[in-house]
Each structure stands twice: as structure tokens, then as C-alpha cells.
Structure 1
Amino acid sequence: MANAISRRNFLAGTSVLFVAGAATACGSSDDGKDSAARGTKITLSQWYHAYGEAGTQQAVQRYAAAYTKANPDVAIKISWIAGDYETRLNSALLSSSAPDLFEIGDFRASNVKSGLLAPLDDIIGPVRSDYARSALDTATVDGKVYGVKMMDDVMMLYYRKSVLDKAGIVPPRTFTELLAAAKSLTSGKQKGLFIGSDGVGDVPYLLLWSSGGDLVDPSGRTVTFNTPEAAAAIGALKDLNSSGTLLQGFTTDWFDPGALVQGAAAMHWCGLWAMPDIKKKLGDDFGVVPWPAFGGSGSPAVRVGGWYHLVNGKGPHVDAAKKYANWLWIQQADLQKDWCVSYGFHVPSRKSVAAQTTPFSSGPAQETVALSQQYGHSFPPVWNKATTTAFIQSCAKIAKGKADVAAELADAAKACQAELDKQNA
């Protein structure tokens, strides 16, 4: 399980500050070899963060070599960056050593404003319908797409089939049903629901999305969560925390499946990356559902994170870099399947490729793909560490009953709006 989590460093796109040991070492690994030693006219520099799963570095080197074999004029030089990848990348992008291509988990609209990213609509356009909305929204700024999604990390609600069956409970479809089920399933050493050791986790976002709300408007210029409807939804976090049904203070957090497989919770908000471990320990005694709808106008929600591949808009080889990104992440279905399931467990971002990927052809894994495509939400490109901190800190106060919901959300909205105004200035 450690390997599956370390692939995300801090669960890319989640704003959860978790760093696995395999990815925390300082420095970088540059193999010093281009994908072709001689005879090339262009050498593209490509950066990856240091994934924790064995075989990932060798895989991207194989992909690069395969491209050069098909395109002898272009070599790919891979840099494998350990430590604080985003900080090192941001510094490099402002220097003469900037890579031509690179990946990022937490997409930053500010890089678009600075001209650091090349728009990729010309390569995304022909296959745009093959991506779920959540795969495009995060990397879309002012109507243009600046990142090719490499993989989807889906987060959803797991449940123990046998435990719910014994209690005569069907998987919840509404928040009211979820709260009632959590109460009925809480007995002895088992709690009904685990959403995180702090009793907050992802749930503020899930409550907002499942009520029909969102963090910002489509333009990325205006905060939209300061409404009575949003207050009613996020206020339900206090109901969960005061119900006595939440598992809190557990030895691992929501992104590890320990609470579910150890029987400490009957329902557990977690990620697709945990499914192989869950299946190994529980067999077929588990199912998955989206976060239930909140209120009469709401809809179920799942969260979709993952990594994007981007092209340096100020690099010397923009067209060549875009051609390689197109070849690798759009044209090569077999390589995309290899990347997603040979070293971890992730959904290929293109719907057609996911449909061809055997591990997602049946059971809960297949259901997860469908949930992500139907109910998936992702963070907007203007949502950064500052907005995350303001929003989650306010929601944590609400969860513990330490603040008036409407007033606290108004304060968070004010802080987030100031950050948006700064980004859009």
C-alpha cells in the first residue's frame, strides 16, 4: 500500500499534504542519457516527479526511446525529480534550464497568466469528447486547455457488503440515508463512517458539490460557495461530527484503507489506489458508491485527482513538445494502459482507453470508472494552497461546532475572493 500512495507524493490534485517516504529524498535523478545518443536534431527535456512505485522510471524511459525510434530526429532527455517537485519546477520554469515538457498534479492558472504554458487545444480538440469533464476542467483557463490528463485518481465511498446486509441497509443514495446508515452501523468497536482522522477530510467539497454548488464560477473569477444552499450543505458536516458515528483519531488517514479492512468502520471514503489492497484482504466483500446527493436538487459526487502533462510555452521546441505529448498521452493506448495499471491502480483518462483496460472491465473497478465519468468533480485551476487553507480551516470550525456556518463561510469566501482577485489582476 505504501507504494500505491507514494505515487502521488501528496495525492496529486487533492491538496492533502501527505508525503510518502519514497518521494521525500532530496535531489534529482537524471540518467544523463537521451533516448537517442546521436543523429538527432532536437533534444526535448522532460521532467517527472519521483514516483514511488517500482518500474515507473524505467517505463518513461522506454516510452521516450520508443518515440525516438519512430521519430529519429527527436531525442527525449528524462529528469526524475525527487523532493519538493513543484518548488523546483517553478524555479526551473523561470530559468534557462526549463524543461520542454513536465507533469503537475496541482494545476496552477497563474502559470497560464505568466505565459509559461502552451495551449493544447490543437491536440486535445479531436478527442475532447473522449475525456470526462473533470479531466478537462482543472486544466482549462479562459476556455483553453493547457494540460493533457495522464491518469485519473478517483475517490469514492467504499462499504462492507456483509456488514450492511446484516443490518438490512442498502448503500446510501442521499445524505439523509448516509447519516441514518452511519448511525445504524455504529456498534461496539465499529463506527459507521470514516472520512478522515480529523472528521473533515474531503467532505466539505463533497457536501458542496453534492448539493449542486461549486467553489468558483466557470470564469474562475468569483467565489460561489457563500450561499444559503452551500451553508445548509456544509453545515451538515457538524451533524456528522456530533452524531457519534464517525471514526476519528484512527492510526491511518482516509487515503489508507486500514479502517475498512480492519473492521473499524463499515463505510470509508477512500481512493481507487486502495482497491487492490482492499480486494486482497476482503475478497468480494465490498462495494463502491458516490458520495450521496444532498437536498432535493443535489446529485452524487466523486472527486477525481491525478496528474497532467504540460508543455513549456516559452521553450525553444513548443511544436515538437506538443507532438510528443500528443503521441504519448493521446495516441498510444497501450502505453497509457501500461502507465495506469502496471505500477499502481489508476484510470486511464481517455474513456476509450479505460474501456479497453482489463482491470476495469468488471466489478467495483468498472463501477468506479462509470462513477468518475458521470459524477466526477475536480478542483478549478485557480484553487490553490491559499484558497484551500481558508476554506478547509473554516469548515473544520463548522464541523466542531465552533462557528456560525453562514458567518464562517462568509469569512472564507472573502479570503478566497481576495486570492482570486490577486490571481486575476
Structure 2
Amino acid sequence: MSARSSQLSRRGFLGGSLLFVAGAAVGCSTTPGGSGDAGGAGTTLNVWSHAYGEAGTQQALTRYAAQFTKANPDIAVKVTWVPGDYTAKLNASLLADGAPDVFEIGDFSQALARRGQIAPLDDVYGSAKADFGQGDLDYVTVDGKIYGIKMIDDVMMLYYRKSVLAKAGITPPTTFDALASAAKALTSKSGKGLFLGNDGIGDSPILAVWSNGGELVADGKVAYASPKAVEAVTALKRLADDQSLLLGFTTDWWDPSAFTQNVVPIQWCGLWAMPAVKTALGDDFGVLPWPAFGSAGKPVVRVGGWTSCVNAKGKHVEAAKKFVKWLWVEQSDLQKDWSESYGFHVPPRRPVAATADKLSQGTAKETVELAATSGRSNPNTWDTEVSTPFAAAAKKIVSGQGDPAQLLADAAAQAQTALDKQRS
């Protein structure tokens, strides 16, 4: 359920809506934002979800909505399942009539709060605020107010085949140099050693910056043009030069197929894929953080996920808050089901995470521990206008186009303009 995958075919279900009135489901418009019959309920909430790719997710969300409506018969809930480029469709809807009352977002952006598009939810948390980790709270906090509730924490890390590395005499890498050397050594005429994404980059530029002690944004300033950032991003070119990266696979990094089908022995992917990996490979796999860049660096895993927000300009703000509180604060059993039954995800509420039995053993437990010790999340200012110049510069650097320091400096200047606008 990775946030970075919201536009990709992993989400490729058919779009549509179901309206729940007094516990019954009624078919609705297949166009996001379309209307449906509220069946006599005083309020109808339109709740948007991107089209998750894990089997059973759509059915689970509609089941949760039905349970809420059964408990609150005066509030009908229309679940709208949005395929394709969810982020673009959501942003467009928020500028027009018929925007959803409740919606999820991947990488939270404080710009939504500053523009008055999402409502503060401090009252929704209540005493349960203490259940959430400070990192998740800080992520959705803008000017001292909380504007979302984290639904799941998605951990992203490296998977590796134990038997393949052992046969090649390779120790699981703990530095970037070791990772590059392993990827090269594991590359042969029949296959590549490492899969980061079909573009050959994936999350690696962000990870490179963090692993060398750098930051993307710090104290309101774009920071990815620092010497440490330049050094680490430039080093990624080695992977391309060694021709050790798998490119253009049938699915992208968020899907474990390249790993489970023995196409590559090391792949960047997410905790959500672990049940499928274990089914395919048994215990012949391990997990690693993105390794430290040099002796002074530090390993990192990326922590993303999805956040539930309320449309501040909607007609039913209080009812929307009631739904969000019911599902993501009060219903521990449903939160556990959402985190364990459709791939693996870390429940943001610590009391729920403590009961997540499937995450308390084996490699899943190792991954959760990695998130606790080495987890990093994108800053909540990291929206498209801020992040796109960095991604474009990194792609040029990896392909050997231009001076890395100048490319990142130019990208940072462009992003700073966007950041200043976002924060004004």
C-alpha cells in the first residue's frame, strides 16, 4: 500500500462506488464524485480511496463502511474506489464541487492545511493522541494543529536471497560500496543483481542523501544540494555504470515478482509484500536497510503510508470527523485487520501494533525493528513541486548528464521557490 505507487498498475482495479445506508449496499456512480441515493439518511459521506492492489482491500473498506453505517444509521457512506492517477484526481476534485468528504493521501502535504483544504483533527484524537508515535503526529502537524490520522505505516527496505548471496560468498551489505560490489558480483549474462525500479532509480536518491547524513528539507530550506547530498547521489551512477540494475521489468519495485521469480537476488520493496515473498520463498530471504554511505553514514529504511483527512470545505465536516474517529481511532479490531490481512503494514496506534501477532515474529519483526531504529519519512513539505526538480536532477546525474553539484543546486533553487510559495 505504498504511497509512491498511487499512480501505478498495482492499483489497477475497476473504479466505482458503493453507498451504505442502514447497513445495506447500494450501487452508485462509477465516476469519482458521482452521486448516489442516500436511502433516507440525513447525511451522505463520500469517502475516497485509491485503488489498492492487495487482494481483499476494496471489500474490507466497504465492509468497514457498512459497519459504521449500521452503528450510525443517520449517516450514509459512499465508498469511491479511484483507479489510475489518484493524486491528480484528488487534487482536481478539491478545487471543484463534489469533492469527497473524507479522503486518504499518501505523502502528506502541509500545503493542503495551509490552503484550508483539510480540517484540523485534534478533537478527533482526544485522549488517544498518546497512542500514536511522535513521528506520525509530527508528520501531520502544521502550525501546532493535527490535520490527519495515519492509517498505516509502510516500511520500505531491501529484500535479499540468503542462499544466492551465500553461494556467491557475499555477506549482506552494510555500506553502499558493499551493495554496489554485491550487485555487480551477482550480475551475469542471465540476470542482474539489483532491482530499484524500472527507471533504475526508484527511491535511491532520497535514500542516498539520508544515508550520508544529509536532509531533503531542513528548517524551511531545501537541503539536497549540500556536499554530502551531492557526494551520495553522484555515487549512484556506479550502479548504472556497472550495468548491475534490472530495468524495464513487467512490474515495478513495489511488486515483489522480480524477487520471488528469481529474476534478481536483491530488490527494494516494502513490508506489504512479505506474505507473498514468504509464500514463494519460504525462509530463503532476509531484509536490510539501505546501507550507510561510508563509515560516517547511517543505514535507513523509508517509512511511508496513508493518512485519512477530512475536507474542510465539505458540507458534512462533523459527520466526516465522526467517521474518521470511529474507524481510525476507536475500532482497534478493524485497524489490526487493515494492517495484517492485506499484506503487512505497521499500525500507527501503538496499542494496536502491540497486538499485531503477524508482525511480532521472524523477518516481519526485524523489519518493524528497522523502522524503529532507522526509519525516515519524507518531510511534509515534500510535494510534487518540491520533489520533482530533485528527481529530475538525480536522473541526469545517474545517466552522466551535467555536473552533479550544479544540477542539484539548480534543482534546489527551483524547489525553494515552490517551498516558499507553499509556506506563504
Smaller-chain TM-score bracket: 0.7 to 0.9
1:243 alignment partner AA: D
What is the SS of the residue equivalent to 2:99? coil
Shift of 1:41: 5.2
Match of 1:281 in 2: 280
- Contact 1:174–1:293 under 8 Å retained in 2: yes
Shift of 1:119: 1.4
**Distance in 2, Cα, partners of 1:141 & 1:391:** 24
Shift of 1:312: 1.8
Could you say if the C-alpha distance between residues 126 and 224 of structure 1 is closer, same or farther in structure 2, counting changes exceeding 3 Å?
Answer: farther
1:312 alignment partner AA: N
2:197 alignment partner AA: G
Match of 2:8 in 1: 18
Equivalent residues in 2 for 1:48-197, closer than 5 Å: 48-71=49-72, 73-124=74-125, 126-128=127-129, 130-132=131-133, 135-197=136-198
**Distance in 2, Cα, partners of 1:200 & 1:348:** 28
**Distance in 2, Cα, partners of 1:16 & 1:28:** 17
What is the SS of the residue equivalent to 1:150? strand
Could you say if the C-alpha distance between residues 251 and 343 of structure 1 is closer, same or farther in structure 2, counting changes exceeding 3 Å?
Answer: closer
1:31 to 9, 16, 19: 19
- Contact 1:197–1:247 under 8 Å retained in 2: yes
What is the SS of the residue equivalent to 2:236? helix
Shift of 1:163: 1.7
Shift of 1:310: 0.6
- Contact 2:260–2:280 under 8 Å retained in 1: yes
**Distance in 2, Cα, partners of 1:327 & 1:379:** 28
Could you say if the C-alpha distance between residues 132 and 164 of structure 1 is closer, same or farther in structure 2, counting changes exceeding 3 Å?
Answer: farther
1:284 alignment partner AA: D
**Distance in 1, Cα, partners of 2:122 & 2:295:** 37
Match of 1:410 in 2: 409
Could you say if the C-alpha distance between residues 157 and 354 of structure 1 is closer, same or farther in structure 2, counting changes exceeding 3 Å?
Answer: same
The TM-score normalised by the length of structure 2 is: 0.86
Could you say if the C-alpha distance between residues 130 and 300 of structure 1 is closer, same or farther in structure 2, counting changes exceeding 3 Å?
Answer: farther
Q: Any stretches of 5+ residues in structure 2 without a counterpart?
A: 25-37
**Distance in 2, Cα, partners of 1:167 & 1:54:** 36
Could you say if the C-alpha distance between residues 182 and 344 of structure 1 is closer, same or farther in structure 2, counting changes exceeding 3 Å?
Answer: closer
Match of 1:301 in 2: 300
**Distance in 2, Cα, partners of 1:253 & 1:74:** 39
**Distance in 2, Cα, partners of 1:96 & 1:156:** 40
**Distance in 2, Cα, partners of 1:123 & 1:296:** 45
Could you say if the C-alpha distance between residues 312 and 404 of structure 1 is closer, same or farther in structure 2, counting changes exceeding 3 Å?
Answer: same
Match of 1:242 in 2: 241
Shift of 1:30: 3.7
Match of 1:3 in 2: none
1:387 aligns with 2:375: no
2:214 alignment partner AA: G
Post-superposition, which runs of at least 4 consecutive aligned residues in structure 1 deviate over 6 A?
36-39
Match of 1:215 in 2: 216
What is the SS of the residue equivalent to 1:191? coil
Could you say if the C-alpha distance between residues 249 and 130 of structure 1 is closer, same or farther in structure 2, counting changes exceeding 3 Å?
Answer: same
What is the SS of the residue equivalent to 2:354? helix
Could you say if the C-alpha distance between residues 374 and 188 of structure 1 is closer, same or farther in structure 2, counting changes exceeding 3 Å?
Answer: same
Q: Deviations over 1:122-157 (max 9, x none)?
A: 344644454445534543323432111111222100
1:93 alignment partner AA: L
**Distance in 1, Cα, partners of 2:347 & 2:253:** 23
**Distance in 2, Cα, partners of 1:97 & 1:261:** 43
1:47 aligns with 2:43: no
Shift of 1:383: 1.7
Shift of 1:391: 0.9
Match of 2:325 in 1: 326
Shift of 1:39: 8.2
Q: Deviations over 1:274-324 (max 9, x none)?
A: 222221221110000111112344321111222111112233443443233
**Distance in 1, Cα, partners of 2:53 & 2:378:** 24
- Contact 2:11–2:52 under 8 Å retained in 1: no
Match of 2:32 in 1: none
**Distance in 2, Cα, partners of 1:92 & 1:214:** 32
**Distance in 1, Cα, partners of 2:209 & 2:338:** 32
- Contact 1:15–1:385 under 8 Å retained in 2: no
Shift of 1:228: 0.8
Q: What percentage of aligned pairs have identical amino acids?
A: 54
Instruction: Give the superposed CA RMSD.
Output: 2.8
What is the SS of the residue equivalent to 1:356? coil
Equivalent residues in 2 for 1:340-359, closer than 5 Å: 340-359=339-358
- Contact 1:45–1:79 under 8 Å retained in 2: yes
**Distance in 2, Cα, partners of 1:222 & 1:205:** 16
Match of 2:314 in 1: 315
Q: Deviations over 1:141-181 (max 9, x none)?
A: 23432111111222100111112222333322222332333
Match of 1:338 in 2: 337
Match of 1:4 in 2: none
Shift of 1:53: 4.2
What is the SS of the residue equivalent to 1:407? helix
- Contact 2:54–2:343 under 8 Å retained in 1: yes
- Contact 1:34–1:43 under 8 Å retained in 2: no
What is the SS of the residue equivalent to 2:166? helix
Shift of 1:194: 2.0
What is the SS of the residue equivalent to 1:45? strand
- Contact 1:155–1:271 under 8 Å retained in 2: yes
**Distance in 1, Cα, partners of 2:155 & 2:343:** 13
Shift of 1:375: 1.9
What is the SS of the residue equivalent to 2:193? strand
2:404 alignment partner AA: V
**Distance in 1, Cα, partners of 2:228 & 2:86:** 38
